[in-house]
Amino acid sequence: MTSFNNLLDARRPAVIVGMLFVSLMLIGVLGWQSYRLQISNDATADSVLREYAILAADEFGRRLTAGLGYRGYYQLISRFDDPQNAEEMLATVSTDQQLAAVAGLAGGFFVFDGNTFSTTKLGPAEEVEALLQQVFEQSASAEAPYHSAHTKNGKYQIIYKLLTVDTSPKKAFGFSVANAGVTKVARQAFESGPLLPASLADGQVSNELLFAEVTGAGGELLFESNRLYDSRLTVAKVLGNDYQGIVEGFRIRVSVNPDSAASLVIGGLPTSQLPVLVMVMVMVFVLMLTALWLFRREQAVIRLRTDFVSQVSHELRTPLTQIRMFAETLLLGRTRTEHESRRTLEIIASESRRLSHLVDNILRFSSISDTIQIDRCSQPLLPIIKEVCDTMQATNRQAQIQLEADASANADVDADALRQVMLNLLDNAVKYGPQEQQISVVLKSAGHTVSISVSDQGPGIPAAERQRVWTAFYRLQREQDTAISGTGIGLCVVRELVKAMDGHCWIEQTDIGTQVNIEFAATAYD
């Protein structure tokens, strides 16, 4: 029976490849010509429309940036050298006929000298003042003709100029940006002429065939034209920090009317014969999907096994090498002082604990596919967490682990499982954070819940990756490109153990580093 299974495993890829080959042959015999033409035509049309949309988005962004930057904000801010108050700025703009075309960009004016804040018609004055306080604290450069900044929610933008003394800000003055003024500039940029050169498609792609949309840094809609043409071929362009970042975070979306593809592609699009063979191809397609699914699953399992064995072998080899090297040092009597002997023993003990932690992780991970066996009981969490923190602090003296705990926090947990969870979280915090960082562990009880948080001062986890890091074997690309080792199972073990104890865990966004939160239902403890 074993030999038969081995033979089946060995020939399974060949069976899957054979199914794929038969499927492809049937599709080729029944619908090759029609399928090839249809796919080619669709791809050509999509490519042409996307390329046109990309060119139009680039041109639209260039016009908008120039209209706001040079012809707009610069004309307004350069009118002032050293205004005394916001009323003076408002009066100047209101009476200057040369600024009439761009005056609508200013929603309100302000003058700030670090202490006194003068404003006129300024929206979120408190938030603007907070921004300017940051400017003074950071001593921004005054060499640029002006600067741009957004409030925290990105909905309000200010344009300001700095006056400095010995590179330190003395005064900041400027204005808040009015969205209505930006909308006007965007409309002028869109209507000032075709966004695509006339040489393309013999000038047939006018702006009437284009969908265009501009949203601000806060996500607010500033301009929109021809919503009817917003399609799957829409391309998006996020503007950068040109002109001192005045459009940083702005987003432009553009697409071309899909119905115009036949007239835009040179030679037109031929009529498709694919509908005649639809029924036959559906049947073949089902067979092909089945074969592809089996083949991809087989390859994924093989790849995961290979990667896991390679990573675990590397992880095991490192502490074993350290233990062997320092043990031989002691056996050969190569330590010269009592301090060196003790240090050698400390390294052996530390690497032994590291090896034990890795083995525990692997054993825990191997049991995930089965039912996890845990022994839960209501108990205080502080002794368990403090024990783990003390152990990690003893073996990682450069990092400072700070524990803030509520001694009354009790929950129905498995002590060994909770130790494994905390060891994994603290190990990650030490591994991926700077050497002399402060790691914060907070245990608190709030009503019917008990929460544990572990915060480090490392590079943090991008928002798009905060769900994927809980899956087995997944590691961030930046970690794979560095010398930081890891098997990619630590957080997976954390999630499964917490779930087995009826808790839940998540990664919270912070200003610096990573914060992992765990929450259990609170229980009484006698």
Q: What is the pLDDT of residues 336-358, one digit of tens each?
A: 787 777 777 777 776 676 667 66
- Say yes or no to pLDDT of 175 above 80: yes
Nearest Cα to 441, choosing from 386, 399, 502?
386
> pLDDT at position 427, please?
83
> pLDDT at position 63, please?
92
**DSSP category for residue 447:** T
> pLDDT at position 87, please?
92
> pLDDT at position 215, please?
92
> pLDDT at position 133, please?
83
- Say yes or no to pLDDT of 195 above 80: yes
Within the chain, which residue ranges are assigned CATH 3.30.565.10?
377-521
Banded pLDDT at 235 (limits 50, 70, 90): very high
Give the separation between CA 307 and CA 91, rounded to whole angstroms: 69
Q: What integer is the mean pLDDT of 99-122? A: 88
φ/ψ (deg, to 5) at 12 = -60, -45
**Residues for the chain: how many in total?**
526
Q: What integer is the mean pLDDT of 14-35? A: 68
CA torsion through residues 208, 210, 214, 220, sign: positive
Worst-scoring range by mean pLDDT, 4-8, 149-153, 251-255, 448-452?
A: 4-8
- Say yes or no to pLDDT of 271 above 70: no
> pLDDT at position 46, please?
82
> pLDDT at position 39, please?
77
> pLDDT at position 504, please?
92
φ/ψ (deg, to 5) at 463 = -55, -35
- Say yes or no to pLDDT of 40 above 60: yes
What is the number of other CB atoms lying within 10 angstroms of the CB of residue 122? 21
Q: Give one DSSP letter per residue of 331-364, joined into a string.
A: HTT---SHHHHHHHHHHHHHHHHHHHHHHHHHHH
Classified by CATH at the fold level, domain 377-521 comes out as Heat Shock Protein 90 (3.30.565)
> pLDDT at position 116, please?
86
> pLDDT at position 272, please?
59
Token pair 């020939």: residue = 11
- Say yes or no to pLDDT of 418 above 70: yes
For 53-146, strand residue ranges (E) read: 106-112, 117-120
pLDDT greater at residue 176 or residue 135: 176
pLDDT greater at residue 144 or residue 225: 225
> pLDDT at position 314, please?
56
Q: Tell me if 501 sits within 8 A of 414, measured CB to CB.
A: yes
Give the separation between CA 402 and CA 441, rounded to whole angstroms: 6
> pLDDT at position 196, please?
84
Distances (CA, A) of 349 to 192, 319, 352, 428, 430: 74, 10, 5, 20, 18
Q: What integer is the mean pLDDT of 36-43? A: 74
- Say yes or no to pLDDT of 10 above 70: no
Give the separation between CA 445 and CA 279, rounded to whole angstroms: 62
Worst-scoring range by mean pLDDT, 14-28, 80-94, 174-188, 506-520?
A: 14-28
> pLDDT at position 365, please?
62
Within the chain, which residue ranges are assigned CATH 1.10.287.130?
300-366
**% of the chain at pLDDT higher than 90:** 15
Banded pLDDT at 290 (limits 50, 70, 90): confident
> pLDDT at position 188, please?
92
96-110, 202-216, 300-314: which is most confident:
96-110
Beta pairing partners, 405: 443
Worst-scoring range by mean pLDDT, 231-240, 364-373, 432-441?
A: 364-373
CATH classification code of 300-366: 1.10.287.130
> pLDDT at position 281, please?
66
Give the separation between CA 526 and CA 517, rounded to whole angstroms: 26
Give the separation between CA 486 and CA 358, rounded to whole angstroms: 10
Average pLDDT, the chain: 80
> pLDDT at position 249, please?
86
- Say yes or no to pLDDT of 251 above 90: yes
The separation between CA 269 and the C-alpha centre of its own chain, rounded to angstroms, equals 40
What is the pTM for the complete model shown?
0.47
Q: What is the pLDDT of residues 81-97, one digit of tens each?
A: 889 898 999 998 988 88
Q: Tell me if 64 sits within 8 A of 186, measured CB to CB.
A: yes
Q: What is the pLDDT of residues 299-340, one digit of tens each?
A: 766 776 666 666 666 556 666 776 777 787 777 777 778 777
Nearest Cα to 131, choosing from 105, 103, 159?
159
Q: What is the pLDDT of residues 468-505, one digit of tens each?
A: 888 877 777 766 656 565 666 778 888 888 898 899 99
Beta pairing partners, 160: 147, 174
> pLDDT at position 516, please?
92
Q: What integer is the mean pLDDT of 270-298? A: 68
- Say yes or no to pLDDT of 360 above 70: no
Burial per residue of 303-319, b for 16 or more beta-carbon CB atoms within 10 angstroms, e otherwise: eeeeebeebbeebeeeb
Q: What integer is the mean pLDDT of 247-264? A: 84
Banded pLDDT at 414 (limits 50, 70, 90): confident
